[in-house]
Structure 1
Amino acid sequence: MQEFSLPARYEVPPDASLAGLLDTNAERHPDAAVIGRRRGEVWEDVTATAFRAEVRAVAKGLIAQGVRPGERVGLMSRTRYEWTLLDFAIWAAGAVTVPVYETSSPEQVGWNLRDSGAVGVVVETGAHAAAVASMRGTLPRLTRVWCLSAPGEEGAVALLKAAGADVPDEELDAATAGLTADSPATIIYTSGTTGRPKGCVLSHRAFLAECGNIIAALGPLFRAGEASVLLFLPLAHVFGRVVGVATQMAPIRLGHVPDVRTLTDDLASFRPTIVLGVPRVFEKVYNAARAKAQEGGRGGVFDRAADTATAYSRALDTPRGPSPLLRLRHRVFDRLVYRKLRAALGGRATHAISGGAPLGERLGHFYRGIGLTVLEGYGLTESCAATTFNPWDAPRIGTVGLPLPGSSVRIAEDGEVLVRGEHLFSGYWNDEEATGRSLVGGWYRTGDVGSLDADGYLTITGRKKEILVTAGGKNVAPAVIEDRVRAHALVAECMVVGDGRPFVGALITLDDEFLPRWAADHGLSGLSREELLTHPLLRAAIQEAVDAGNAAVSRAESVRAFRILPGHFTEESGHLTPSMKLKRHVVAKDFATEIDELYR
């Protein structure tokens, strides 16, 4: 059994809390710009003192509106300044944040708020408010809904500030003082293999241990007063959330991008020193640059530059390093290509951090070769984001790095990756059975398979769980959609695919008993089975089944393309178990060509 540990570089005080970070910043760095807030075409700096004051004003409003310490408050919005403001305000009031993806379906919104027992929720838009309203009858504890986009004084932030104007500082301080490092900070709902999301409880300790040790290990990248991060990842995801905390802990300047369509312009104007993303983002930057070069008749130059960057990066890992000729070619392409690519990412960043899904060696070497080292990490919601990450000065491309300082990684006899440390979750909300299965003797069973090399670098080689992770880092529980699609009379089996892919797809087989009846009802009795499979009316009917499945999930989890297979999944074919469960790995292998065609 392999195991590797690193000593902690940050110790969490027992009475520490996330709300206390703002007090520390206001005392030690009162004039430091901790946030850059977009106002029209310019970024306005928000100092540590100003941010703390606004957080306290909003927190008083929450108290005035009846939120009590320990109660849960939902937060449903795109990535924007107000998200971070409200998150810290909820903590300052002693309460617990329940993030909700802004793309969530009404059913998902209802489950998160109902299961957590949320007493209030802040939403961004009228559509979000309508989704909450549609589920209001199932939310007996929910008494307040605040909307960020409501006009003027009715907007959530303005309303809460006004409501809390008469709340004394002492009352707010008492709410915050009741927090300890082990108090719950948030409940993040994750997709489960059964389709029922589980509420992952992360304490203040988990965030502080995670962020404190990351900052200590990546010190040069988090240099206070110099470094900056532009956040466009969803704050409902633990990765984006940790970034929001780490920037306050360092402290460094944080910017928010609510619409990725403006990301290029925002990168150019904000000019971050650290680029964050999921593999799909880095893939898109590469593909867009290559397509632009091809349109301009310089595709050949770009491809040679990319090959040179990859070769240069690989040579850095050899004892002799790049040859003189390779260095010369690299300098030439730096002037012709690499500088422009770095400029598209703001021009100041030397490092990027990637998580949520595997990056792949090809992209890793390409980006390091152009002068932007992508530090890949690995983690889950249960480990408060990263549980391993590559050192800034000693990355090992193709691995997900070393354990977080203060944590341990163990490889079980069956290859499963187990992790332990202060950054782990406290358990699943109201689900002791699931907690007991996942946390055994202080070790969290990740469900992933991997190996450790002699130096402690972790490589993930597969997944035990059925949950898919798209190239964009979105966790997808196949059963949710599959069960809905299979409910259609025409459908025999449905298998969702999309692990490491840009979007979710599906392989579908038809029910031979119902197909003739359906054909007769639609005047298609004279067609053969093969002709029916490609008929527009049949595809439209299957699309209805897929739409029914998509209605239960967010847009990011929805099936974008499907393939109707001519055969069936059976026990005899090796695609089903005796209990009629899909052997996903066998189906994926046997129908690899059909799956690839979904993404062409």
Structure 2
Amino acid sequence: MQSTETNAAKGSNTTWDMGTDTTLIHILARNAELLGNRVAMREKHLGIWQEITWSQMLDTTLACAAGMESLGFSAEDALLVLGDNRPRLYMGMLAAGVLGGYAMPVYSTATPDEIRHFMHETHVRFVLAEDQEQVDKVLDLGDQGATIKNIIYDEPRGLTNYSNPGLISWEKLQAIGADRLRAEPKLRNALIERALPDGPAVFVHSSGTTGKPKGVVLSHRNFLAGVRNAHRGGAFTFGETILAYLPMAWVGDFAITVGAGVALHFTINIPERQETVLHDLREVAPTFYLAAPRSWDNMLTTIQVRMEDSTPLKKWLYDVFMNSALASERRKLEGKQPSLTERLMRQLGEWLIFGPIKDQLGLTRLRGAFTGGEAIGEDTFVFYRALGVKLRQFYGQTESSAFTALQDTEEVRLHTVGKPLPGVEVKIGDNGEVLIRSGSVFSGYYKLENATREALEDGWLHTGDAGYIEPDGHMVVLGRLSEVVYTSKGERYIPNYIENRLKFSPYIKDVAVLGSGRDTLAAIICIDMEPVGHWAEVRGISYMSYADLSQKPEVIELVTAAVKRVNSILPDGLKLHHFVSLHKEFDPDDGEVTRTRKLRRNVVEERYAPIIDAIYGGQQTVTMKAQITYESGEVGTIERQLSVQEI
């Protein structure tokens, strides 16, 4: 496939090849040649946006590659990348791919044990760290016997007096690489041509919901196939403006920020800090934005909180126009046309209410708005569609370079994830498993032959998800196939399906549904501190902590109402009969959820066995001690008496 875009800088038409028989660095070099002075990346630093052109991005990446090779980095080596989104970390990952090595991004919040697992997985001798905090983590591992040759750091603050051997600043690495490129005139082109289409682009990991995360090496060809499929499916187009804020260790960030960002020459904006994302989002006003359902929920909560604090007139206008827009959007989802009154209200509401809200959030230029990872709440989904943000769901896996299926802008259904993208084949196995085949699918788990044989069969990826395809081609994903369980009465269900619908409530953050082999279903529920705290404050309900708030009678009633709403759509045999509001959140540091907040069910059921025993033993209360991990790494316990609520 080929796409043509006008090159404004040259005043001519340039054909951009969307083939996959190339590499990211080769495309980056093409961008530098044809779009040299156009902005590739913008990073906010000390409140000011710093710009990097495509030419500068290529020069920096090649200098990094030349410098790392001078220090001893070679093919099959791994570069561990630790930190939040930073241009130098992205360029460092590209440089590792140039040399045929593995760029291995790790969550910035990863514990030492998690990092140690990754380092033992492959030959990690080089680390690219964002700042002192991440450097200290690596130095501690070195003291415990890890064989690390060089630690390259981006932010020098706090590291001036460090004298550890192998510790080197980004600036020094750049100087080494630049000197080498000047001394070896042929090296520049040799580096651009060295990487192969089937060579490694990035080394990411599966979510690890059932055990240790598995290593997934994705090639340049994999990513470019995924980008091509998503582009042809209408996910994004050339020249998008994006905000690169998603965790770098998540495959979706690399696929969008680096894969699509380079291939379709996006303008990639990087926030100053994670805490400033919403503020920076407004300044950037991206044309493409992907967020997890929880992020969309949090943004909706922000809107609702601001409206609560607004004037009576503004609240009245908001309610009138939003209720009309919500009714109109629900009619569309039912396949009906909005009435003339609703269309007129929509136009007036855009001027008075919807436009200003989108401007405050930075959503005014949004063409592609997406959510993925898990099901999004119906109320949240319909709200954004009513606001004029054409929110869509997408579906993908780490093993398929992130992109598999996508909803069309005007063909949205609440229960589906859309149709398979062009270039993606999907079929349903005899056991109800979703199987996919595409050029974006990986070649196997890193050094895990048995797991690879289970995942790949005759070119088909076994996704591990249960689902089906509707007659018109829309895909429905029910949940993990491994989580299909039965009650003692033979009722078949997927806990994740019920959990997601409970999390549709803005007041519930995490849930573990219980009931395998039992007569009835129950749940352990974690409230969401921010919206529940605001709800309590508005009603004059005082509290001291999360644990205190979670056990307030009024909050228990709030959660009970949410459970009853879900029960109303479940068959009798699968209704929840009991729940316990937990006195702490499920925490990735405690191993209860993954870094992407997917439930580790076996850990939760083992750790909270006393609660489960109390629920099914007919007790009304249970005293629970819970292990917590502090930021320092120290482990402590908290104790609380919890009530078992009967529905």
User: Shared fold (TM-score greater than 0.5)?
Assistant: yes
Residue in 1 that maps onto 2:237: 222
Partner of 1:367: 384
Deviation at 1:27, TM superposition (A): 2.2
Provide the residue aligned with 1:159 in structure 2. 172
Q: How do residues 167-316 of structure 1 correspond to structure 2 at under 5 angstroms?
A: 167=180, 168-171=184-187, 173-218=189-234, 221-224=236-239, 227-244=240-257, 245-296=259-310, 297=312, 299=315, 301-316=317-332
1:11 to partner: Cα distance? 8.6
Q: In structure 2, do the counterparts of structure 1 residues 424 and 11 end up closer, same or farther at CA, with 3 Å as the change threshold?
A: farther
How far does residue 310 in structure 1 lie from its aligned partner after superposition?
2.5
CA distance in 1, matches of 2:147, 2:122: 10
For residue 568 of structure 1, what is the aligned residue in structure 2? 613
Q: 2:68 aligns with which of 62, 65, 76?
A: 62
Equivalent residue, structure 1, for 2:397: 380
Which ranges in structure 1 are unaligned for 5 or more consecutive residues?
A: 1-6, 479-494, 504-541, 574-592
Which residue number in structure 2 is paired with residue 515 of structure 1? none
Please give the residue correspondences for 1:466-545 in structure 2 after superposition, counting only pairs within 5 Å: none
Distance 1:376 1:552, change over 3 A: closer
- How far apart are the structure 2 equivalents of 1:572 and 1:392? 49
Secondary structure of 1:427 counterpart? coil
Post-superposition offset of 1:276:
2.1
Note the alpha carbon deviations across 1:392-433, whole angstroms, 9 max, x for none.
454444321121221111112222111111111121111001
Aligned in 2, Cα 1:213/1:51: closer, same or farther, shift over 3 Å? same
Name 2:478's counterpart in structure 1.
461
Structure 1 residue 68, shift from structure 2 partner: 0.8
| Aligned pair partner of 1:428 in 435, 442, 445 | 445
Aligned counterparts of 1:216 and 1:114: Cα–Cα separation in 2: 39
1:327-381 Cα shifts (integer Å, max 9, x gaps): 2232333233211221123222243122222223332222122111112101111
The aligned counterpart of 2:460 is 443
Seen in structure 2, the aligned counterparts of structure 1 residues 557 and 450 have a Cα distance that, compared at 3 Å, is closer
Q: CA distance change for structure 1 residues 548 and 174 in 2, over 3 Å: closer, same or farther?
A: closer
For structure 2, which runs of at least 5 residues remain unmatched after alignment?
Answer: 4-15, 161-166, 484-494, 505-509, 513-521, 530-582, 619-642
User: Which residue matches 1:331?
Assistant: 347
C-alpha contact 2:62 2:191 (8 A) present in aligned 1: no
Q: Deviations over 1:543-596 (max 9, x none)?
A: 9x999945997696899x9978566189999xxxxxxxxxxxxxxxxxxx9699
Q: Pick from 402, 405, 412: which aligns with 2:429?
A: 412
Residue 178 of structure 1 and its aligned partner are, at CA, apart by 3.5
Match of 1:343 in 2: 359
In 1, Cα distance between the equivalents of 2:335 and 2:193? 55
Deviations, residues 25-64 of structure 1 (Å, cap 9, x unaligned): 1122223222222243332432211211111111111111
Q: Give the root-mean-square deviation of aligned CA atoms.
A: 3.9
Q: Does the 8 Å CA contact 1:104/1:553 hold for their aligned counterparts?
A: no
Looking at structure 2, the residues matched to 265 and 442 of structure 1 have their Cα atoms a distance apart, in angstroms, of 44
Q: CA deviation at 1:496?
A: 10
Preserved CA contact (<8 Å) 2:432 2:467:
yes
**Residue pair 2:329, 2:385 contacting (<8 A) in 1 also:** yes
**CA deviation after TM superposition for structure 1 residue 455, in Å:** 2.3
- Taking CA–CA contacts closer than 8 Å with sequence separation of 6 or more, which of the two structures ends up with the larger relative contact order? 1
Go from structure 1 to structure 2 and tell me whether the alpha carbon gap of 1:457 and 1:22 turns closer, same or farther (over 3 Å shift). same
- One-letter amino acid matched to 2:462: R
Instruction: Within 5 Å, give how 1:61-210 maps onto structure 2.
Output: 61-136=67-142, 141-151=147-157, 156-167=169-180, 168-171=184-187, 173-210=189-226
Alpha-carbon distance change, 258 to 436 in structure 1, aligned in 2, over 3 angstroms: farther
Deviation at 1:268, TM superposition (A): 2.2
Q: Normalising by the residue count of structure 1, what TM-score does the alignment of the two structures yield?
A: 0.75
